[in-house]
Chains A and B, each alone.
Chain A
Amino acid sequence: MNEKWKMESQRKRYSKALIELGKQRKDIVALDADLSTSTQTAKFAQAFPERFFNCGIAEANMMDTAAGLAASGKTVFVSTFAVFGTGRCYDQIRQSIAYPKLNVKIVVSHAGITVGGDGASHQITEDIALMRVLPNMRVIVPADAPETYRVIFEIVKDRDPVYVRMGRADVPTITEEQDRFKIGKATIMHEGDDVTLIGNGIMVSRCLLAAEELKKHGIEARVLNLSTVKPLDEKIIVKSARETGAIVIAEEHSILEGLGSATAMVLGENASVPMRRVGIPDVFGESGDCEELMEKYGLTAENIVNAAHDVLARKK
Chain B
Amino acid sequence: MDLMHEKEVEKLSERARTIRQHIVRMTHAAGSGHPGGSLSAVEILITLYFKIMKHDPEKPSWPERDRFVLSKGHAAPALYAVLAEAGYFPVEELLTLRKLGCRLQGHPSMTWTPGVEMSTGSLGHGLAVANGMALAAKLDRKLHRMYVLCGDGEMDVGEIWESAMLAAHYKLDNVTMYLDRNMLQLDGPTEKIMSIEPLADKWKAFGWNVQEIDGHDLREIVMATEHATQCHGKPSVIICHTVKGKGISFMEGALHFHGKAPKDEECTKALEELGVCK
Contacts and interface: CB of A to CB of B under 8 A. Distances in A.
A contact patch SS: helix
B1 interface: no
A302 B16 CA distance: 72
B30 interface: no
Contacts of A100: 109-111, 118-119
Nearest to A101: B111
Interface string B117-157: 11111100110111111111101100000000000000000
B209 to A, nearest CB: 20
Given A71-B118, A99-B119, A60 B162 contact: yes
Contacts of A67: 118, 128-129, 132
B158 A60 contact: yes
Interface in A66-120: 66-74, 91-92, 94-96, 99-101
Contact of B166 (A61, A70, A74): A61
Given A60-B162, A100-B109, A65 B120 contact: no
Contact of B125 (A29, A70, A95): A95
A51 B139 contact: yes
Nearest to B136: A72
B131 A68 contact: yes
Contacts of A64: 125-126, 128-129, 131-132, 159, 163
A281 interface: no
A72 B129 CA distance: 10
B133 A95 contact: no
A56 interface: yes
B63 interface: yes
B137 to A, nearest CB: 7
Contacts of A51: 139
B49 to A, nearest CB: 19
B50 interface: no
A204 to B, nearest CB: 36
A60 B117 CA distance: 19
A133 interface: no
Interface in B188-205: none
Given A95-B121, A96-B118, A61 B162 contact: yes
Interface string A25-59: 00001000000000000000000001101011010
A51 B139 CA distance: 8
Interface size class of B (residues with CB under 8 A): 20 to 34
A69 B146 CA distance: 12
Contacts of B139: 29, 50-51, 74
B223 interface: no
Most chain A CB inside 10 Å of its own CB: which residue of B69, B110, B139: B139
Contacts of A72: 67, 132-133, 136-137, 140
Contacts of A73: 63, 136
Nearest to B128: A64
B107 to A, nearest CB: 9
B236 to A, nearest CB: 17
A65 B132 contact: yes
Interface in B96-126: 109-111, 117-122, 125-126
Contacts of B250: none
A61 B170 contact: no
A64 B135 CA distance: 12
A99 B109 contact: yes
B274 interface: no
A84 B56 CA distance: 39
A61 B132 CA distance: 10
A132 B61 CA distance: 31
A95 B124 CA distance: 11
A99 B109 CA distance: 8
Contacts of B111: 99-101
B109 A69 contact: no
A252 B234 CA distance: 46
A56 B111 CA distance: 30
Contacts of B133: 68-69, 71-72
A207 to B, nearest CB: 39
A97 to B, nearest CB: 10
A69 B136 contact: yes
Given A64-B125, A100-B118, A55 B166 contact: yes
B159 A61 contact: yes
Given A71-B110, A100-B110, A66 B162 contact: no
A308 B131 CA distance: 52
B52 interface: no
B213 interface: no
Interface in A138-170: none
A70 B132 contact: yes
A96 B136 contact: no
Contact of B129 (A56, A58, A71, A91): A71
- Going nearest first, the 10 A-B pairs with the smallest beta carbon separation are A68-B132, A64-B128, A72-B136, A61-B162, A58-B162, A68-B129, A65-B132, A69-B132, A68-B133, A100-B119
Interface of A: 29, 50-51, 53, 55-56, 58, 60-61, 63-74, 91-92, 94-96, 99-101
Interface of B: 63, 67, 69, 109-111, 117-122, 125-126, 128-137, 139-140, 158-159, 162-163, 165-166, 169-170
17 contacts: A29-B139, A55-B162, A56-B162, A56-B165, A56-B169, A60-B162, A64-B131, A64-B163, A65-B163, A65-B166, A68-B118, A68-B133, A68-B136, A70-B132, A95-B119, A99-B109, A100-B110
